[in-house]
Amino acid sequence: MNVIEHYINLRLAFKGTEEEEIIKTTTATISDFLSCTMRNTNHLINKMSEKGFLSWIPQKGRGRKSSLIFHLPLLAAASLNVKRLLKERSFEEAYTYIIEAGFSQFIKDTLLSGIQSEFGLQSVSLSNGRKDTLKIPQETKIHTLDPARIGIVHEAHIAYHIFDSLIRYDKNSKSYSPGIALSWEETEGGKEWTFYLRKGILFHHGRLVEAKDVQYTIQRILNNKEIPYHSLFNGIKKIEIIDEITVKFILDDVNYMFLDIMSSFFSSILPHDCEINPVKPIGTGPYKVDKHDDHLLVLEVFPYYFQGRAFLDTIEIWNLPMSINNEIKKQNEPITITEHNLKTFQELGSFFFMFNMKKQGPHQDQCVRLAFQQLINSIELVEDLGFPRRMPAYSFIYKRSSQEHCIENSLTRAKQLLIQSSMYKGEVLKLATFDFKEAIEDMVWLKKRCDQIGLNIEISTIHSTDIYQNDRFDCYDLIYTGETFEENEELSLYMLYSSEHSILRRTLNTEYQTEIDKKLKMITLEKKLQNRIDQFYFIEKWLKDEAVVVQTYHTLEEQNYHKALNGITVSGYGMPDFRQLWVKPKLNNDKQEEANYSIYIP
């Protein structure tokens, strides 16, 4: 404990007094308050006096009391200590200190507001130019940045800024644009795909990209069946290096989703000359990983990025416990409307229930599943609970949901189906959901509905990173989650049905998986996009008819941005593209060395 903390503890011991008030006390009394020896207490009093925190006028003689005068207000002292903790980048320690130190509510609120101001955009003028830093608090811990093993959207969003794939998907045209590959061509009726790489692209460690890196990246996935996306590459027979910037993929069979696969984050190109570090990987993207520990990920701009330098110099992503993050957001609620823009985005994907068909239980009876389907009235759910729930989901795809007719739901019909079931005898169905706000609210709504038809249900909440535990869902009869799609919705559906990272696939038994794989095979043979889209819908309809999947709603995302932030475009994951962001400085006659802009990014 340093001098300022001892001063705060002493000031709290005399919190009923004012600054500059003369307080009669003894060294022994102060020693008790500080839990120090007499010798150390005298040393601390001298230090505090030297720093101007207080004055100490000692008196000698038995029974005589010395005079103590506080100069530094408690709020000022607490602010100094919190700033010290923040400078040491210990947000969690600073938050815990504020909550537990015994401050008044006013001081707590003031100090928490100070923590909140540490996040957002900070522009500082240095001798070598302006530095723009974006600091973001995030509840979800980053488990891995290995693009072939990423399983949650926050990781995929970060990977998008560290790596590049051969090509990119364009959501507006539903086609592809050059990435690391300048051009590509299809031969042999979709069985061979040749990519021509750009010259001069650098990895973050300084080496030029070559065809061997492309071969290594994909071969690495093919060689390891433990990689969750392994099955998506199964049809690759051979990867042939034509020359240092030309590579050909030879497939076992036609696959017209091959470009979709090669455009996604899990096909991000890695250097062949160093083994990937999942905490601090090397890519070619606009940002490189500078630091990554349990609490902080620092991305520094890569000035040699082949598509132009990004504007923001540094991005800091802080992993904070939910309690701290919620407090920060609460402190951030009173937004100055004149300085901020509120932007609303339609998130891709939907929330849904799925039955664990690998687990034995009464839900293996379709009557039980249909009864559950009947009690989920998505219209009422959206109306009852409101934002961010936008509209009922009748498909994973938002556009198709808006064109579909709602399913007729009836609690009476649900109860009848439950009675008809030959397998349900009042057993408790175990349901798991993730620990995010909307899902927890939905579960309260669901429990009331289940009680009305006599369906016994036990609800557990789990963390999003539990997706990496292969057996995490084995003990549950039912799982509720939200699937956030990337901009390429067809690829997202393909991954949903085929990837071992997909919770949906992990809950399907062998019979269902085999049938889906047959249907996916037929999709890859379809050259026309609309035909592929239609066949994806047939899979979805089949799972809904079987009542294996029960969908609920689509959501909106609201984000507050300071007007100084420009170039805001949102990815399919509902998060901003960092490479497009730039800051318009405050324009006035005074030269500013530092400017802060509050901002909320999920």
The yes-or-no verdict on residue 28 having pLDDT over 80 is: yes
Looking at domain 1-72, its CATH architecture is Orthogonal Bundle (1.10)
Residue with the bigger pLDDT between 362 and 569: it is: 362
253-276 pLDDT, tens per residue?
A: 999 999 999 999 999 999 999 999
Average confidence (pLDDT) over 302-323: 87
| pLDDT, position 408 | 84
Q: Which CATH number fits the domain 346-554, given the four candidates 3.10.105.10, 3.40.50.150, 3.40.50.2300, 3.20.20.70?
A: 3.10.105.10
Looking at domain 119-138+286-334+564-602, its CATH architecture is 3-Layer(aba) Sandwich (3.40)
Q: pLDDT-based confidence at 500, cuts 50/70/90?
A: confident
At 591, phi and psi to the nearest 5?
A: -75, 125
Residue with the bigger pLDDT between 568 and 419: it is: 419
* Percentage of the chain modeled with pLDDT above 90: 63
Give CA–CA dist 530/513, Å, rounded: 24
Give CA–CA dist 438/326, Å, rounded: 14
- 257: closest CA among 482, 515, 511, 535? 535
The yes-or-no verdict on residue 334 having pLDDT over 50 is: no
| pLDDT, position 325 | 55
Dihedral over Cα of 419, 420, 422, 424: its sign: negative
For residue 124, what are the β-bridge partners?
131, 594
The CA-based angle 274-278-282, given to 5 degrees, is 45
For residue 68, what are the β-bridge partners?
23, 56
**CATH topology assigned to domain 164-284:** Dipeptide-binding Protein; domain 1 (3.90.76)
List strands edge to edge, sheet with 296-301.
287-292, 296-301, 314-319, 129-138, 120-126, 594-597
279-289 pLDDT, tens per residue?
A: 999 999 999 99
Strand 66-70 vs strand 54-57: parallel, antiparallel, or unpaired? antiparallel
376-388 pLDDT, tens per residue?
A: 999 999 999 999 9
Give CA–CA dist 197/209, Å, rounded: 8
Q: What is the mean pLDDT of the chain?
A: 89
Residue with the bigger pLDDT between 87 and 51: it is: 51
Average confidence (pLDDT) over 81-100: 80
**C-beta separation of 572 from 487 below 8 A:** yes
List strands edge to edge, sheet with 66-70.
22-25, 66-70, 54-57
561-589 pLDDT, tens per residue?
A: 777 778 887 776 667 888 888 887 766 65
Q: pLDDT-based confidence at 326, cuts 50/70/90?
A: low
Residue range(s) in the chain whose domain bears CATH number 1.10.10.10: 1-72
Dihedral over Cα of 328, 333, 337, 338: its sign: negative
153-206 pLDDT, tens per residue?
A: 889 999 999 999 999 998 888 899 999 999 999 998 889 999 999 999 999 999
| pLDDT, position 337 | 52
Terminal CA-CA length for the chain: 35
Beta-carbon neighbour count of residue 333 at 10 Å? 9
Residue range(s) in the chain whose domain bears CATH number 3.90.76.10: 164-284
Residue range(s) in the chain whose domain bears CATH number 3.40.190: 119-138+286-334+564-602
Beta-carbon neighbour count of residue 64 at 10 Å? 10
| pLDDT, position 599 | 56
| pLDDT, position 329 | 55
Residue range(s) in the chain whose domain bears CATH number 3.10.105.10: 346-554
For residue 220, give both structure tokens. Answer: 């690495």
Give CA–CA dist 349/540, Å, rounded: 13
Residue by residue, DSSP assigns 162-214 as H---SEEEETTTTEEEESSEEEEEEEGGGTEEEEEEPSS-B-TTSPBP-HHHH
Average confidence (pLDDT) over 106-122: 81
Q: Tokens 């996916």 identify what position?
A: 520
* Percentage of the chain modeled with pLDDT above 70: 93
Residue by residue, DSSP assigns 78-133 as HHHHHHHHHHTT-HHHHHHHHHHS---HHHHHHHHHHHHHTSEEEEEEETTEEEEE
| pLDDT, position 17 | 93
| pLDDT, position 467 | 72
Q: pLDDT-based confidence at 545, cuts 50/70/90?
A: very high
**C-beta separation of 148 from 220 below 8 A:** yes
420-458 pLDDT, tens per residue?
A: 998 999 999 999 999 888 999 999 999 999 999 999 999
Residue by residue, DSSP assigns 322-340 as HHHHHHHHHHT-S--GGGE
